[in-house]
Amino acid sequence: MIKYLIQKEFLQIRRNAFLPRLIIIFPIIIMCVMPWVMNQEVRNIRVSVVDHDHTSLSARLVHSIEQSNYFRFRGMQPSYELARKEIEKSRTDIILVIAKGYGKVAEMKAKGNAIPSEEDRGKILIAANAVNGVKGGIGASYLSQIVVASANPDAAALQSAVSTFYLYNKHLNYKLFMIPALLAIVMMLMCSFLPALNIVSEKETGTIEQINVTPVSKWSFILAKLIPYWLMGLLVVTICLLLAWAIYGITCQGPIALVYLLTMVLALFFSSLGLLVSNYSETLQQAILVIWFFMVCLLLLSGLFTPTRSMPHWAYLTTYINPMHYFIDAIRTVFVRGGNFAAIAHQVYALCAFAILMSFWAVVSYKKNS
């Protein structure tokens, strides 16, 4: 009998003016646009310079800022106050002030003379707009590296002697980091909202009452609701993987079957969450808001955007009960690092446990007789 129910769901999806388009357009938007914008690399920081020194040394410093590909030189400003105004108008991000005497001190140091007293020492001031803390902090530290290197050739030499080797993501390609996370978001949206909204709208039109007086078993009704959306989710994930390969040349480093395993388990979890919410909601509005609430919390606490270790301890503890966290950990291990099943076994088991618990709850809370 489940055959007829599934057939009905597919017919309804096909007749729907909106869903088939969503299934095609959604992964394309997610994969073509999001990897470019969801990028935490700090680039194109705008710098204004206030030079009170006017020596060849200060000119060299300005020149090396101009050359750096992290900075965009926004020109010289006559005073710190005027430069501050530029920040306020959002025309620049960082001000570098070179105090009078900067060149002279360096010259004296180079000749081995005694260093002049504290007051005369030409100082460098870096003032960064830290509304976006990451951008301000990283910008200021890049800039101070440049300052040190330009003032002291030895330091420059030392810097080039330290070799950094980025494991698994040689070019620090942020897209490689984001694409598995985007898969997670796609599955989350497709598999939790759509089945939940489907059931609640049957409640609103009253057709669910008609189904409830038939001998359809709970399990077949719920499975018939979920299977079409799982298949849709898998289709969408496949489209995403193909697009990642076609557009960015990024492919999965580990066994692709593990990626599908993980997305299936995640899909089970989220669709059960959606059902659970729909069982307790009477209206579409209510269902959407409640699911939205859970999605945002699960997403932001999952380590998708920010490293979980840098969260405060109590927030970090919540990641133990966040299935999204296990998923993201595992899929990055497989996708980026090429891990095998042994590397993610712990996450897979945790994810399965959550998914089974949730689906059990969803089926129990669906009542054909109250």
Partner 1 sequence: MNAIEVHHISKSYGKVKALEDVSFSVGKGEVFGLIGPDGAGKTSMYRILCTLLLPNMGSATVDGYDVKRQTREIRRRVGYMPGRFSLYQDLTVEENLYFFATLFGTTVEEGYNSIKAVYSQIERFKNRRAGALSGGMKQKLALCCALIHSPSVLFLDEPTTGVDPVSRKEFWDMLAMLKERGITILASTPYLDEVRRCERVAFLHQGHLQGIDTPDAILERFSDVFNPPAIEHSKAVTVGEENVIEVQHLVKSFGSFRAVDDISFSVRRGEIFGFLGANGAGKTTAMHILTGLSQPTQGTGTVVGYDICTEHEQIKKNIGYMSQKFSLYEDLTVAENIRLFAGIYGMNDQTIARKTDELLSRLNFAEHKNDLVSSLPLGWKQKLAFSVSIFHEPGVVFLDEPTGGVDPATRRQFWELIYDAAARGITVFVTTHYMDEAEYCDRISIMVDGKIRALGTPDELKQNYHQPDINHVFTYLARQASRSSD
Residue type, 134: V
Report the chain's terminal Cα–Cα distance, integer Å. Answer: 24
Among 19, 34, 216, 353, binds partner 1 (CB under 8 A): 216
Total of residues contacting partner 1 (CB under 8 A): 25
Q: What is the 3-state secondary structure (H, E, C) of 63-97?
A: HHHHHCCCEEEEEECCCHHHHHHHHHCCCCCEEEE
| Closer residue to partner 1 in complex, CB, 42/227 | 227
Residue with tokens 């759509």: 194
The widest CA-to-CA distance across the chain, in whole angstroms, is: 98
Among 15, 170, 171, 309, binds partner 1 (CB under 8 A): 15
90 scored as a contact of partner 1 (CB under 8 A): no
**Min dist. Cβ of residue 3 to partner 1 (A):** 7
Residue type, 190: M
Residues 181-210 that bind partner 1 (CB under 8 A): 205-207, 209-210
7 scored as a contact of partner 1 (CB under 8 A): yes
286 scored as a contact of partner 1 (CB under 8 A): no
Residues 16-45 that bind partner 1 (CB under 8 A): 16
Residue 100 DSSP label? T
370 scored as a contact of partner 1 (CB under 8 A): yes
307 scored as a contact of partner 1 (CB under 8 A): no
Dump the DSSP string for 358-370. Answer: HHHHHHHH--S--
**Min dist. Cβ of residue 292 to partner 1 (A):** 19
> What phi-psi label fits residue 45: left (phi over 0), alpha (psi between -120 and 50 degrees) or beta?
beta
| Closer residue to partner 1 in complex, CB, 4/292 | 4
| Closer residue to partner 1 in complex, CB, 6/352 | 6
Q: Judging by DSSP bridges, how do beta strands 94-98 and 45-51 pair with one another? A: parallel
Binding site for partner 1 (CB under 8 A): 1, 3-5, 7-8, 11-12, 15-16, 205-207, 209-217, 368-370
